A and B are shown apart, each in its own frame.
Chain A
Amino acid sequence: GNSVTQMEGPVTLSEEAFLTINCTYTATGYPSLFWYVQYPGEGLQLLLKATKADDKGSNKGFEATYRKETTSFHLEKGSVQVSDSAVYFCARDPGAGSYQLTFGKGTKLSVIP
């Protein structure tokens, strides 16, 4: 079946540090891939997405590249800010015929000044 595995948290970084949050997915079909961000007390917001192999999604300084050969979609940011503190969820599309996303368990990021 479809599954998404992302690195366990929590992750604590100093401001301006480099961020990587790993995400891998099962290779069933050719899914679209997503990263969502959830700030405390809020719903999830779409951060970026990629719809095919080698696509790079980017937004607000975050990037992720759809790697079919390694079935990965790792989230990166070159210099994190305190305002990036949130929970990050990786997700995959099930493919044709279904609208239901499969989410990873989420990774909590805390950025300290």
Chain B
Amino acid sequence: DGGITQSPKYLFRKEGQNVTLSCEQNLNHDAMYWYRQDPGQGLRLIYYSQIVNDFQKGDIAEGYSVSREKKESFPLTVTSAQKNPTAFYLCASSPGTGNGYTFGSGTRLTVV
């Protein structure tokens, strides 16, 4: 079955370390997205990509970086420049307008 996979589900890192969150989809979707969710909060867009080798900043891109070298993959790196990285991170993909998103199951990052 097609879907979108985020790994790992839980991630612990020490302050000051960079960490990369994986997002892979086999839905053949063109667009992919990264969102951050804090407790009791809505979704905030970090980065998105509508085609391979191209991506745009969302509302809260500072301290994050992404790449889109393959259609299936859109990894997110949380750098040491991100002031408050502890959060729940959600990846999503979409085939285009009118179809909505398919979400992954999320990665909970805790920085200690």
Contacts and interface: CB of A to CB of B under 8 A. Distances in A.
Interface of A: 32, 34, 36, 41-46, 49, 51, 89, 91, 93-101, 103-106, 108
Given A42-B105, A45-B103, A104-B42, A93 B98 contact: yes
A45 B45 CA distance: 17
Contact of B105 (A43, A91, A94, A98): A43
5 contacts: A32-B100, A46-B100, A91-B100, A99-B31, A106-B42
Question: What class of interface size applies to chain B in its complex with A?
Answer: 20 to 34
B102 interface: yes
A101 B106 contact: no
Contacts, number: 62
Contacts of B102: 46
Contact of B106 (A43, A103, A106): A43
Interface stretch (B13-21, B66-74, B89-97): B89-97
Contact of B90 (A43, A91, A98, A99): A43
A99 B106 contact: no
Interface in B60-93: 90, 92
B43 A103 contact: yes
B50 interface: yes
B42 A89 contact: yes
Contacts of A99: 30-31, 48, 50, 94, 96-97
B43 to A, nearest CB: 5
